[in-house]
Amino acid sequence: MERGRGAGTHGRGRAVSSPAVWWVTDEGFARRVLADVRHRFKVVPEGRRSMVAQCFETFDWRLWESGLVLTRSARPARWVLSRTDDRAIVAEAKPGKAAPRRWFWSDFPPGALRDHLRKICGIRAVLPMGRFRETREFLALCNDDGKTVCRLVWEKASAKEPRERAEPSSAAGFRLIPLKGYTGEARGAAACLAEMGCRAVAGSDHPARLAFAAAGREPGDYSSKARVDLPQGITAADACRRIHLFSLDTAERNLPGIYDDLDTEFLHDFRVALRRSRSALSLVKGVFPARVEKRFGKDLAEIQRATNRLRDLDVHLLERGAFEAMLPLELHAGLDGLFRQLERERERALRRCLEFLKRPVTMEILRDWRAFLEPSAEAAAPRANEPAEALGKRLLRKRFRRILKDGRGIGAKTPDAALHKLRLQVKKLRYLLEFFGSLLPAGETASFVKRFRRLQNILGRFNDLCNQETWVRRRLEAAEAKAGTSTELAASLGGLLSELGRARAAERAKFGRAFSRLDAPSVRARAKALFGGKDDFK
């Protein structure tokens, strides 16, 4: 039930639970249902409301996965964040005058809606994703004494400008709202709906689904997380084809968002997909012909290198809030000029990156890669027919053994470069678990991943701080060498350098404890059970 509006504001009585929705096939059938309800209750109309709503969602469904839908309507003019199950309003706001092509949480007015979007969407933009029209008729169901015993909301929804598709572009249903003290009557109304053939559902039939379908989307149809389910008994070659096709699909789905510069995560996910394929080509040797591994390993690396500069600038710009939090307020002014310069550099880097990605030879590389990965009569490689499970376990044993060996050699005086090398080994282990994890016991795999995730996060954060420290140092040296550099900029960069150094040292200090948790006897025993073999990893 909506908070403070909708069916709950008509007539007397107080709703006692979230209403169920009873969907029907068409309007004619709904009228027959209403006629049957009138045999049991006196039906009193309480009003009608129609609206057209534009749906907004992140590309990777962060709102829907949190059980929420964001809509914007013109009459009345408002943003509404509501729950998918009972349509209750979580937060709302009046739209501003600006209408950008995509919205970040910071584009919304201060308040509860903005706070929710900041927490859920983060750096992702919410994008327009279809429209729907909805009409609601509010009906009071009364007993012989004329008292309202429950409410019925007749809801009709349809997609605006739907695509040509087989799925229905409209839906209708009744929302039954019980009132306190009349639960028996509400059960009778529910039984009436069920007897007539209505289907009780939860929030999965939210009218936003119609809008999404009209826009060519389906909730959950994209995730950047690797989720390749491999069947038992699959060969190494077929498994690797599936793994690479998943990564290629992910990369290509992100290209339009990069072209339109919708948010920085499109480029990030594109790069992760390329890196995942490159890692698979380097880690799983002998499954494809050597010439294929060599060619596409080189080609995919070239595409990724073309995006490096743009991604580096994105990372620096996204760190502005963190940088400001490290410095006292009086040193913030020096950062303003720095970030204005970074924005100009990003514009140039974006143009160069897009030129590279859109060139015919780049598109040809991706087409050729897909053509190879699709089922073909390609010549077999030495390990092509090896069972994927056996190959995966062997590679996992080798990588885990290497991590333990390298990690045990790291002490307080070990150079930072050793931690960077270990980070790469841990990342390779994570990739192998993504590739072959579906062939291992799910519960045991999740428990093992949990143990090394903390170490991976520490090493990743340590690497980020080292990179930031190097970048700030170079900026400071360039600023000091350039005549006319403001003292404010030099002071801000100097302050950042000191704070980043302290943060890096603090992160490194966490390494020993995190590694000892991974090197524990119980974890080694779990690894042996998961990966097989005779190695005790001692």
| DSSP structure string for 418-455 | HHHHHHHHHHHHHHHHHHHGGGS-HHHHHHHHHHHHHH
| C-alpha torsion angle, residues 213, 33, 153, 127 (rounded to 10) | 0
Residues paired with 177 in a beta bridge: 151
Is the link from the previous residue into 289 a cis peptide, with omega within 30 of 0? Answer: no
End-to-end CA, the chain: 59
388-538, what's its fold? CHAD domain (1.40.20)
- In sequence order, what are the residues at sequence separation of 6 or more whose Cβ sits closer than 8 angstroms to the Cβ of residue 56? 70, 71, 72, 103, 126, 127, 128, 129
Same fold across 223-386 and 388-538: yes
Residues 276 and 282: their CA atoms lie apart, in Å, by 10
133 sits in which H/E element: strand 127-142
Task: Count the helix, strand and coil residues of the chain and give each as a percent rounded to the nearest 5.
Answer: 55, 15, 25
Angle among Cα 148, 154, 156 to the nearest 5 degrees reads: 165
> DSSP class of residue 329?
G
Query: 368-391 pLDDT, tens per residue?
Result: 999 999 876 565 788 889 999 999
Environment class of 256 (CB within 10 Å of its CB; exposed 0-12, middle 13-18, buried 19+): exposed
Alpha-carbon torsion (281, 285, 289, 294), positive or negative: positive
- In sequence order, what are the residues at sequence separation of 6 or more whose Cβ sits closer than 8 angstroms to the Cβ of residue 410? 418, 419, 422, 511, 515
Class of domain 6-214: mainly beta
User: What are the structural domain ranges in the chain?
Assistant: 6-214, 223-386, 388-538
Helix/strand/coil for 408: helix
Count of Cβ atoms closer than 10 Å to residue 69 Cβ: 26
In the numeric block, which tokens belong to residue 166? 């087989």
Residue-level pLDDT at 378: 61
- The number of angstroms, rounded, from the C-alpha of 251 to the middle of its chain's C-alpha atoms is 14
Residues 24 and 507: their CA atoms lie apart, in Å, by 58
> DSSP class of residue 18?
P
Residue-level pLDDT at 379: 57
Residue-level pLDDT at 16: 42
Residue-level pLDDT at 438: 92
Residues 138 and 143: their CA atoms lie apart, in Å, by 17
Q: pTM (2 decimals)? A: 0.87
- In sequence order, what are the residues at sequence separation of 6 or more whose Cβ sits closer than 8 angstroms to the Cβ of residue 508? 416, 419, 462
Residues 285 and 304: their CA atoms lie apart, in Å, by 21
201 sits in which H/E element: strand 199-201
Residue-level pLDDT at 260: 96
Ranges in the chain, pLDDT < 50? 1-18, 166, 203-204
Contact 76, 169 (CB under 8 A): no
**Nearest Cα residue to 139 out of 50, 49, 43:** 43
Q: Classify domain 223-386 at the CATH superfamily level.
A: CHAD domain (1.40.20.10)
Residues 450 and 444: their CA atoms lie apart, in Å, by 10
Instruction: Compute φ and ψ for 510, nearest 5 degrees.
Output: -80, -10
Contact 19, 139 (CB under 8 A): no
Mean pLDDT (the chain) is 87
Residue-level pLDDT at 86: 74
Residue-level pLDDT at 222: 95
Burial 395-408 (b: 16+ CB within 10 A, else e): bbbbbbeebbebbe
Residues 140 and 153: their CA atoms lie apart, in Å, by 9
